[in-house]
Structure 1
Amino acid sequence: MSAITIEDLHRIFKNLDKNNHGRVSIHDLHHLLENIGIHATLEELEKFVGDTSLGYMDFLFFYEAIVKTKIAESKDSSSEDHIDHDMDRSTDVLLKAFKVFDLNGDGFISSEELQSVLSRLGLWDKKRGQDCEEMIRVYDQNLDGALDFEEFKVMMSPTSHSQI
């Protein structure tokens, strides 16, 4: 999977803006974050955002702030203890993300499950010609047609994207 593009963010915003008022409520944002394994209270989100809803530009700034926070956190981990802790934390985060995609809980992500989750997040656009089977095939090391957790970790690693 590639990085989230501005078009992807626009689609996510549009899907969250259910009443087409040009704003996304903190409740809808909270629900999205929970679905992708990021846990924060409504109060924490409102304090971070500074309002009870976000316009499109605020939504983009929110996304950028999260990305910058993650980059800063990864740069701050210089000692071995921090590295071990970060690796454990990264594995935990990846496992939560894996479980979001593994809808039936069988320990594998099928192309159908991948398409379903991407659709829920507003990232699936059949017109763009995305093919979830092909996305899975790229990282399916044992050629069983699905991703196990180890294959998912490879897919989510930053170095794997430069190999595609």
Structure 2
Amino acid sequence: MSPLTSRDLQRIFEKLDMNEDGLVSLEELKWLLDKIGYYEFSPDELESFVGKKNLDLNGFLFFWESISKQNDDNRGPGDDVESDLAEAFKVFDLDGDGFITSPELECVLKKLHLWDDHYGRDCSAMICAYDTNSDGRLDFQEFKNMMLLASSS
């Protein structure tokens, strides 16, 4: 899993907490894990792992840290950052043409419920910030540079 900041995780938690009661249910958590392709837990295993029916923000952060560490511990010698980034790139490259465009980025962010008009996000500006050849889209190398810069900050 790519590193997420505590702010990112808090925003994800807030999006999952649809009824705004300060809790995320196991069903909502399972939905998130399925969306990001983390199929390790069945609903029963997830309940057993979490130990309760709902998580508050601190519980969610602890859970995320636990599965991230578990995922890191299970990496074999052939696994590397490059292959993880290649898989992540494929998620955003919806038409498979080898580039991520502003509409593709917006579409994926909306599917993940990470797009919010309230925050005034502009996918063109997000892409432009890392588009080194100024063609209005990100190739794999530009995407890789963006992700590596984001994870080091």
Instruction: Return the TM-score normalized by structure 2.
Output: 0.72
Shift of the 47–94 alpha-carbon distance from structure 1 to 2, 3 Å rule, reads farther
TM-aligned CA deviation for residue 59 of structure 1: 1.0
In the TM superposition, structure 1's runs of 4+ consecutive aligned residues that sit over 6 Å from their partners are none
For residue 40 of structure 1, what is the amino acid of its counterpart? E
2:50, 2:63 within 8 Å by CA — same for their partners in 1? yes
Q: Does residue 141 of the first structure (1) align with residue 132 of the second (2)?
A: yes
Distance 1:162 1:36 in 2: 18
SS at structure 2 position matched to 1:139: coil
Residue 146 (structure 2) pairs with residue 155 (structure 1): yes
The whole-number CA distance in structure 2 between the counterparts of 1:105 and 1:46 is 36
For each residue in 1:57-115, what CA deviation from the matched residue of structure 2 results, as whole angstroms up to 9, or x when unmatched?
A: 21122123344446x649xx8xxx83xx132xx33332332222223333321112212
CA RMSD, aligned part only?
A: 3.2
Aligned length: 150
**Partner deviation per Cα, 1:13-53 (whole Å, 9 max, x = no partner):** 23222344443232322222232233323244333322343
| Structure 2 unmatched runs, 5+ | none
Amino acid at match of 1:152: F
1:17 alignment partner AA: D
- Whether the 8 Å CA contact 1:23–1:54 is kept in 2: the answer is yes
User: Aligned residues: percent identity?
Assistant: 48
Q: Give structure 1 stretches of 5+ with no counterpart.
A: none
Per the alignment, residue 10 of structure 1 pairs with 10
More helix by share: 1
Report the TM-score when normalising by structure 1: 0.68
The question of whether the paired residues in 2 share the 8 Å contact of 1:36 and 1:97 is answered with no
> Quick one: which of 101, 112, 117 aligns to 1:110?
101
C-alpha change, 1:54 and 1:149, in structure 2 (3 Å) is same
Kindly tell me: are residues 153 and 67 of structure 1, through their superposed partners in 2, closer, same or farther at Cα, counting changes over 3 Å?
same
Partner of 1:34: 34
CA distance in 2: counterparts of 1:61 and 1:152, whole angstroms: 29
